[in-house]
Amino acid sequence: MRLWLAHLIFLPLAVWALITVFDFRAAANVALWLVAAVIVHDFVILPLYSAADRAGRLALPGTLINYVRVPAGLSLLVLVVFWSTIRGKGEGTYTRVSGLAWDGYGTRWLLVTAALFALSAAVYFARRR
């Protein structure tokens, strides 16, 4: 309930700031995107990751779920931030502007994910001992 109240309070404030900074058409597009993001998050994504967390708590005893939840969440965050780069969108422009090769972003994301889980496992075993 508090989440909806926060959205209802701060969304008009964000719309006002966008209208003040940008022209009306751009502000309306961004405001529409913000409303859609709130709706998709609250009605689709939140139930999905809540169900995944509940299933993880049932599968893993005690606080062991935290050692899986944290690296998985960070890995998902990195994936979302670099998704367009990982899937190769903009490869030609990137190579033309920077002169660098585009290859390896998916591999690097997998290596970062493996490192996060390895670090989490090391912390778990260090605390367990």
> What was the pLDDT predicted at 39?
92
- Structural domains in the chain (count): 2
Look at residue 110 in the predicted model and tell me its pLDDT. 96
- Structure tokens that stand for 23 in this block: 């022209």
Q: Could you tell me how many residues make up the chain?
A: 129
Cα distances (Å, whole numbers) of residue 24 to 7, 19, 27, 29, 78: 21, 6, 5, 9, 33
Q: Do 50 and 102 reside in the same domain of the chain?
A: no
Residue 71's pLDDT is what?
96
pLDDT (mean) for 96-105: 82
Choice between 93 and 27, residue whose per-residue pLDDT is larger: 93
Residue 68 and residue 93 in one domain: yes
Structural domain containing residue 115: 62-129
Distance CA 117, CA 84 (A): 23
Q: What's residue 3's pLDDT?
A: 76
91 and 46 within one domain: no
User: What's the mean per-residue pLDDT of the chain?
Assistant: 87
Output the pLDDT for position 46: 93
